[in-house]
Structure 1
Amino acid sequence: MPESPHLTLPAPAKLNRLLLITGRRPDGYHELQTLFQFLDHGDTLTLAPRADGQVRLTPTLHGVAPEHNLIVRAARLLQAEAGCRLGAEIHLEKRLPMGGGLGGGSSNAATTLLGLDRLWGLGFDLDRLAALGLSLGADVPVFVRGHAAWAEGIGERLTPVDLDTPWFVVIHPGVTVSTQAVFGAAQLTRDTLPITMARALQGGASSWRNDCEATVRELYPEVARALDWLSSRAPTMLTGTGACVFARLQSKGEADRLLAEATRHHWQAFMARGLNCSPLHAVLGR
């Protein structure tokens, strides 16, 4: 018998190379300005169609019920939008830490949307898939569109940009940061003056910062220790609301040496290259 069709696809990590908080909306969401960039490191999803309409995900993630997992939610949302009677068998190879600020759940959702669109033969365009993704989370559209971007609003208004593509060493301090706790903190900066995309890009990486960093430092001493250790060796920032922190290096050799040092100091760490085009889109040819 012929093998059933399947797709094995990357779900890359992202970094926030800059993150400004410029206000708070009446609905409680925060107005942001940020620069998203992908990494050549992330999770992997293997998807295969099912004829019975069921969506099954393996393995289950500790503390996350299957019906709450963004992969399952994305698959069922796409089913409903398309009126599709097919289902999916999905296997997740998880590498990205949960609550790390690397966008793992959002990236998983985007890979599910694009992968099942291909497997189920739906032919949805990126605008339609990105709109579906936004209903799952503010970071999903950038992964759907697949290009480094300047983002505004709650992160959903995207303009493609080409950023420098240095090497990064990323440390996970071993804690899970609550985005809700960070954005709910009284001391969080919420009144940074907005800047233009042109000004942000002209200023370059040396002027970029993350408005969440001071609050996360205060709430999570483990993150503060990681920031202090890494920043003594290379230019360092928090990504998103954390917990991961990243150092920017100009060469693979520098990154290799810093990763080796981090490992000797018992940090959970990995090395990756910055990318302007998502590896998911490279595989799918979108």
Structure 2
Amino acid sequence: MMPEAVPTTYFAPAKVNLGLSVRGLRQGGYHELHSIMVPLTVGDELDIAPADTLTLRVEGADLPADGHNLVYRAARAYLDAAGQPSGAAITLRKRLPLASGLGGGSSDAATTLMALARLYPASVHLPTLALTLGADVPFFLLGQAALAEGVGEVLTPLPVPRVPLVLVNPGVEVSARDAYTWLDEEEAFTPPLDVEGILAALTSRHEVPFHNALQDPVAARHAPIREALTALADTGLRSPLMSGSGATCFALAENDDQAHAAARTIQARQPGWWVATACTL
């Protein structure tokens, strides 16, 4: 039996989409995307240690701890691909709200892959393995902001500056599958993002010329998302937008002090919401 090992703690960052264009529907039901994805300074944590078998424990959320959990599936996929007979003892501490458009599950899975590759080195191509787990998982292997195209797997690193922002989740869980279904029903596909314009506006005081193709169909069905966008704008923050398929919305701050003040104001008005400050990485 393997002696009990001290676990290593890993940070699994959240992400926001600084714009999400859905260009159209591809064969097989996938969508052609054009999005700027940016990791943040907030996220989940994982403790991972070598063990005889694979086990998962989840803290902070009511999630399964078996093959229905993306972390477990990622670990199982890596161990099998590496031909590794040993396992890992994994504890997932959820800090992010569930089904929130922040990529928490995908980030947790990518972090698991990278941790196990360090623990059990093998000739495994992580990006290929990551794509079998979900379209957003390869992005989190990259570790920096990127333009995501295709179904999200074609990644081009981008020089996104440090920008403080405020995140608000009004407690609504939105299924990405539903969000894309509603978009398809309306055929509300959108043109490519103005990437240069977005990057330039991040460090100015102007509104950022981005859009999220999923925002209108999702917000039309979820009033709390409309309320979250209004709350962000009412505190003087810039360019409020829904991230991914929602329900988390964000807006940009001029500095850390403005971000913290706005977050306190929103939290006081809406004590039941999840509110956080963060910076782009």
| TM-score normalised by length of structure 1 | 0.88
* Counterpart for residue 193 of structure 1: 191
Q: Distance in 2 between matches of 1:95 and 1:3?
A: 26
Matches within 5 A, 1:24-43: 24-43=25-44
Tell me the C-alpha RMSD between the 2 structures: 2.0
Please say if 1:84 is aligned against 2:84. Answer: yes
Tell whether the 8 Å contact from 1:12 to 1:41 is kept in structure 2 after alignment.
yes
How far 1:175 sits from its partner (Å)?
A: 0.8
1:249 maps onto 2:250 in alignment: no
Q: 2:140 — aligned with what?
A: 143
Once the two structures are overlaid, the 10-residue window that deviates more, 138-147 or 195-204, is: 195-204
5+ residue gaps, structure 2, are none
Asked whether the equivalents of residues 243 and 249 of structure 2 are also in contact (C-alpha less than 8 Å), the reply is yes
1:118-267 maps to which residues of 2 (within 5 A)? 118-122=118-122, 124=124, 128-185=125-182, 186-187=185-186, 189-190=188-189, 192-194=190-192, 197-198=195-196, 201=199, 206-233=208-235, 234-235=237-238, 236-265=240-269, 266=271, 267=273
- Give how far 1:36 is off: 0.6
Q: CA deviation at 1:6?
A: 2.7
Query: Cα 1:218–1:64, aligned 2, differ >3 Å: closer, same or farther?
Result: farther
Contact kept in structure 2, 1:86 and 1:120, CA below 8 Å: no
Task: Supply the AA of the counterpart residue of 2:241.
Answer: M
1:31 aligned partner, one-letter code: E
Between stretches 65-74 and 101-110, larger displacement belongs to: 65-74
Contact 2:193–2:210 (CA under 8 A) maintained in structure 1: no
Residue type of the alignment partner of 1:214: D
| Residue of structure 2 in register with 1:56 after alignment | 55
* CA distance in 1: counterparts of 2:250 and 2:225, whole angstroms: 11
Aligned to 2:275: 269
Per-residue CA distance 1:96-129 (angstroms, 9 max, x = gap) = 11110000000000010000111123365xxx11
Stretch moving more, 41-50 or 65-74: 65-74
1:5 positional shift = 4.6
* Segments of 4+ moved more than 6 angstroms: none
SS class of match (1:219)? coil
| Residue 68 (structure 1) shift | 1.1
The TM-score with structure 2 as length reference comes to 0.90
The number of aligned residues is: 269
Q: Which residue identity is paired with 2:156?
A: T
TM-superposed CA distance for 1:166, in Å, is 1.1
Show the counterpart of 2:67: 67
